[in-house]
Amino acid sequence: MEDLTKPMEVKKPEGAFKVEGALKRDTEKILDVIAKLLMPILLLVLGTWFNYVTNSNQQKQRAQEQRIADEQSKSVLLESYIKHLTSANPAERELALHILSLDTEQFDPQMVDLISAVAATGTPSERITALEALSHASHSNNAAVRDAASRNITTVPVIPVSTTDTKVVQQKAAAINQALQSAGVKSNGLSKVIDGLHLLN
């Protein structure tokens, strides 16, 4: 007699082991194929993302370096103009003013204040050239420069002239002084007078 307390052993048929083994092998093969297909795709996605992040950071760094270089360049340019505008040589001051009147896009509000000081205290010829530079700056694309130039151009005192000044300087000074003394002078009205001074040459 058999012992009833022992669990009964169920024998699997021989073919069942073959089916389970084949299924296990097939699953392993499928997973292996999927892994081999997904790995390159995963590497491609990760590589593309890494390149994007790296390029983005490099572009930001280059833009930051360019901004710093531009600021340093403007600072050096401002120092150069200050040096020339405060020179004891009148020809050097006049030349710096002429250059400034041609290149008003390089202006910043500090430069406008410096030009305004020359327009208020320089020789008559320097004051006229400084006012021409301020007039050009009052049409700048930079709103801060435009506002500073428009504000400062109307605060310039009357230009004193003497008989030793050239006739052109005397005529230009007379036109500016008349505009300055007009009641309720506006910066755009004064700018029109100053912009028309080139006709007196």
Q: Is residue 157 part of a domain?
A: yes
Domain that holds residue 56: 19-85
Q: Which of 85, 114, 138 is the last residue of a domain?
A: 85
| Same domain? 59 vs 135 | no
185 pLDDT exceeds 80? no
Mean per-residue pLDDT, 37-57: 91
List pLDDT tens digits, range 165-177: 778 877 777 777 7
Cα–Cα distance list, 11 to 4, 5, 8, 21, 70 (Å): 17, 18, 9, 17, 86
pLDDT computed for residue 48 by the predictor: 94
**Residue for token pair 């390029």:** 55
Q: Which of 62, 85, 108 is the last residue of a domain?
A: 85
191 pLDDT exceeds 90? no
SS3 content of the chain, % helix, strand, coil (to 5): 75, 0, 25
pLDDT computed for residue 56 by the predictor: 93
Greatest distance between any 2 Cα atoms in the chain: 147
Query: Nearest Cα to 114, choosing from 102, 125, 180, 126?
Result: 126
Determine if the pTM surpasses 0.75.
no
What is the spatial distance between Cα 101 and Cα 66, in angstroms, rounded to a whole number?
26
| Same domain? 97 vs 64 | no
Q: Which of 70, 85, 100 is the last residue of a domain?
A: 85
| Same domain? 67 vs 121 | no
| Same domain? 113 vs 77 | no
Total domains in the fold of the chain: 2
| Same domain? 74 vs 109 | no
List pLDDT tens digits, range 100-118: 777 766 777 888 888 888 8
